């Protein structure tokens, strides 16, 4: 039996990720797909990367809009102050904490990638196949899922922070939700498991203690109440 953990939108929340990794170990899963936005918003980006490396999971990753935003900031094409006002200091901390070589390797991740396991084809993207910045919510109209010429059994995407499974006769679109900033239920990290043997998709909500994350929000981004409020939902 082949189990794959699918994670997205960790957003520098190492506390949530640690809880998920413990859950993954309990499930005896050895491989994960990560759909971008490992950084941004919260304040432990380096620890997120270290936890994934130390987990010994076989991880296949892509980058999301926050990685692309960091790349543009480092190139000088977007102002740091504007980023911090809207999203907090998470990306700035990533630029400061992550060693230059590791950061450049991390930012060179692809926007999409294709994988095949047990004869099942997976397309990993962040927003949607035609537009990496597009939000596809669970209540989106059918035409939003009309991906022309997609050669995949599973289209895996993140970005919205809302879990979703939408299947057609051609493929299943799966959004595991957000590990680091789940929008439906505070204090829980959303992710999912795909069984490639029987095509069962299991949505997971792993509890974690938000106290430390809230303390760091007050330390670094006290004026952005949203970063705390969303974790208390």
CATH code assigned at 225: 3.60.21.10
* pLDDT band at 233; cut points 50, 70, 90: confident
pLDDT at 168: 85
Instruction: Please indicate, yes or no, if residue 188 is contained in any of the structural domains.
Output: yes
Q: Which domain holds residue 106?
A: 3-112+178-232
Considering the domain boundaries, does residue 134 fall inside one? no
Asked if residue 141 belongs to a domain, the reply is: no
Higher pLDDT, 212 or 233: 212
Residue 148 has pLDDT above 80, yes or no: no
Cα–Cα distance measured from residue 90 to residue 70, given in angstroms and rounded to the nearest whole number:
10
1 pLDDT band (50/70/90 cuts)?
Answer: low
Of the pLDDT bands very low, low, confident and very high (cuts 50, 70, 90), residue 210 is very high
Least confident of 12-21, 61-70, 113-122, 146-155: 146-155
Does residue 203 lie in a domain region?
A: yes
pLDDT of 82 over the 70 cut? yes
pLDDT-based confidence at 110, cuts 50/70/90?
A: very high
> Residues 56-75: what's their mean pLDDT?
97
- Tell me the C-alpha distance between 11 and 23, whole Å: 19
Task: Look at residue 172 and tell me if it is in a domain.
Answer: no
User: How much of the chain is helix, strand and coil, in % rounded to 5?
Assistant: 35, 20, 45
Q: Is residue 225 part of a domain?
A: yes
Check: CB of residue 61 under 8 Å from CB of residue 106: no
What b/e string do you get for 4-32 counting C-beta neighbours within 10 Å, with b at 16 or more?
bbbbbbbbbbbbbbbbbbebbeeeebebb
What's the structural domain count of the chain? 1
The mean pLDDT of 39-63, rounded to a whole number, is: 97
Residue 138 lies in a domain: no
Q: And the tokens for 149? A: 């010429």
Q: Which of 201, 64, 51 is nearest to 132 (CA)?
A: 64
Quick one: three-class SS letters along 137-152? CCCCCHHHHCCCCCCC
Residue 147 pLDDT: 82
For residue 221, being part of any structural domain is answered with yes
């Amino acid at each position: 039996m082949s189990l794959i953990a699918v994670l997205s939108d960790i957003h520098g929340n190492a506390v949530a990720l640690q809880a998920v990794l413990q859950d993954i170990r309990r499930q005896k899963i050895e491989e994960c797909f990560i759909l971008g936005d490992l950084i941004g918003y919260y304040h432990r980006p380096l620890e997120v990367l270290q936890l994934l490396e130390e987990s010994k999971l076989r991880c296949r990753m892509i980058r999301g809009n926050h990685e692309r935003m960091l790349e543009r900031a480092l190139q000088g094409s977007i102002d740091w102050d504007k980023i911090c006002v809207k999203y907090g200091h998470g990306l700035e901390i990533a630029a400061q904490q992550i060693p230059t070589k590791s950061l450049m390797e991390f930012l060179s991740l692809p926007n999409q990638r294709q994988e095949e396991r047990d004869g099942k084809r997976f397309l990993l993207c962040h927003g949607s196949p035609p537009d990496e910045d597009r939000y596809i919510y669970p209540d989106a109209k059918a035409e939003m899922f009309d991906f022309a010429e997609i050669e995949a059994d599973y289209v895996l995407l993140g970005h919205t922070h809302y879990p979703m499974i939408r299947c057609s006769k051609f493929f299943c679109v799966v959004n595991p939700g957000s590990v680091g900033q789940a929008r439906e239920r505070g204090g829980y990290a959303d992710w999912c498991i795909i069984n490639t043997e029987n095509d069962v998709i299991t949505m997971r909500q792993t509890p974690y203690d938000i106290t430390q994350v809230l303390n760091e929000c007050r330390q670094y981004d006290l004026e952005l109440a949203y970063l705390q409020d969303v974790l208390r939902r």
